[in-house]
């Protein structure tokens, strides 16, 4: 069974790397023209990552990576941009026919990882609020993190059709805070509450090469969806609000 990846660098940077920052072991679901996986970091950040590939097999398959970072490192050693991986029951084999080859062993399917979040239910949710979030805004916000050294929280709220984020921790006394506008145009309903997010979500996407992301909010469950399309990969991050 051959998995053909036409853009190796994109596969690494926009698919495997975001997943590896949330989990070590990953279960890949391979269909006719895609590979996808779900990741959860035992906090409140969930990720569904998808990437277009070519798969020479008539059946869907699941493979379990024991160490995602290890696969990233060996793929980064390859000079070829278009590669073909030969997948058997227990390993991934590569041979470019010129003396460069590797074997990467897989976990048994019985050890596949699962996320407690059902991404299929996203399409049934009512998304009350949305806005565009640029990488420039994200980078500008993250520059303030050394000032608010105690914080791991980002408080998202709306005022006058604009979207703000305050970095800080309101459960602690006498902590420094920083507030900035992250979007000048709000679509849908303004928020009547603060959405309290893990700042790690914004750190994670800062490593990706994108111009803008689309953010959607479901007010009933106080849930944020952040969607990115980069080259032939799609990333959907979901984060639920911390309690006050």
Give per-residue pLDDT as tens, 95-136.
988 888 999 999 987 656 666 667 788 878 899 999 999 999
Residues 141 and 38 in one domain: no
Is residue 86 located within the same domain as residue 136? no
Structure tokens at 235: 């990333």
For residue range 35-54, list pLDDT tens digits in order: 999 998 877 899 999 999 98
Q: Which of 65, 83, 110 is the last residue of a domain?
A: 110
What is the CA angle 211-35-90, rounded to 5?
135
State whether 172 and 213 are in the same domain.
yes
d(CA 33, CA 182): 36
Average pLDDT, the chain: 91
Which residues lie across from 168 on neighbouring strands? 153
Mean pLDDT for the stretch of residues 233-237: 96
Same domain, 69 and 169: no
Between residues 120 and 63, the one the model is more confident about: 63
Contact 45, 196 (CB under 8 A): no
Higher pLDDT, 33 or 201: 201
* Assigned token pair, 190: 């303004």
Domain that holds residue 69: 2-110
**pLDDT greater than 90 at residue 22:** yes
* High-pLDDT (> 90) share of the chain, %: 75
Q: Which letter does DSSP use for residue 37 in this model?
A: E
* Domain total of the chain: 2
If asked whether residues 51 and 100 sit together in one domain, one would say yes
Q: Are residues 236 and 216 in the same domain?
A: yes
Neighbour-count burial for 170-186, b at 16+ CB within 10 Å, e otherwise: eeeeeeeeeeeebbeeb
* pLDDT > 90? residue 5: yes
Q: Is the dihedral of CA 91, 94, 84, 52 positive or negative?
A: positive
Q: DSSP state, 244?
A: -
What is the DSSP track for 89-133? SSEEEEE-SSS-EEEEE-B-GGG----S--GGGGGGS---EEEEE
Looking at residue 58, its pLDDT comes to: 57
Q: In this structure, what DSSP letter does residue 12 have? A: I
Alpha helices, DSSP H, located in the chain: 8-11, 17-20, 68-76, 135-142, 200-206
Residue 163 to residue 185: CA distance in whole angstroms: 7
CATH number of the domain that 29 lies in? 3.10.150.10
> Cβ distance 83 to 5 under 8 Å?
yes
Residues 128 and 228 in one domain: yes
**Per-residue 3-state assignment (H helix, E strand, C coil) for 140-155:** HHHCCCCCCCCCCEEE
Percent of the chain with pLDDT over 70: 95
Higher pLDDT, residue 99 or 195: 195
Boundary residue ending a domain (56, 87, 110): 110
- For residues 127 and 221, membership in a common domain is answered with yes
The verdict on 17 and 97 lying in the same domain is: yes
Burial bucket for residue 97 (CB in 10 Å: 0-12, 13-18, 19+)? exposed
Do 140 and 92 sit in the same domain of this protein?
Answer: no
């Amino acid at each position: 069974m051959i998995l053909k990846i036409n853009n190796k660098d994109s596969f690494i940077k926009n698919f495997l790397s975001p997943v590896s920052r949330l989990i070590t072991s990953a279960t890949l679901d391979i269909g006719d023209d895609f590979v996808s996986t779900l990741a959860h970091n035992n906090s409140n950040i969930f990720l569904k990552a998808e990437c277009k590939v070519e798969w020479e097999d008539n059946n869907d398959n699941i493979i379990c990576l024991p160490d995602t970072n290890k696969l990233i490192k060996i793929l980064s050693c390859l000079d070829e941009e278009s590669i073909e991986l030969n997948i058997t029951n227990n390993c991934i084999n590569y041979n470019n026919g010129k003396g460069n080859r590797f074997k990467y062993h897989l976990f048994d399917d019985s050890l596949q990882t699962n996320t407690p979040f059902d991404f299929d239910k996203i399409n049934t949710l009512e998304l009350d609020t949305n806005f565009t979030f640029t990488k420039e805004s994200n980078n500008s916000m993250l520059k303030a993190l050394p000032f608010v050294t105690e914080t791991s929280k980002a408080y998202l709220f709306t005022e006058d059709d604009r979207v703000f984020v305050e970095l800080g921790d309101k459960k602690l006394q006498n902590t420094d805070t920083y507030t900035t506008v992250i979007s000048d145009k709000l679509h849908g309903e303004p928020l009547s509450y603060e959405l309290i997010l893990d700042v790690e979500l914004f750190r994670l996407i800062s490593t990706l090469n994108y111009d803008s992301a689309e953010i959607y909010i479901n007010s009933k469950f106080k849930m944020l969806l952040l969607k990115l399309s980069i080259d032939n990969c799609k990333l959907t991050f979901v984060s639920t609000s911390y309690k006050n």
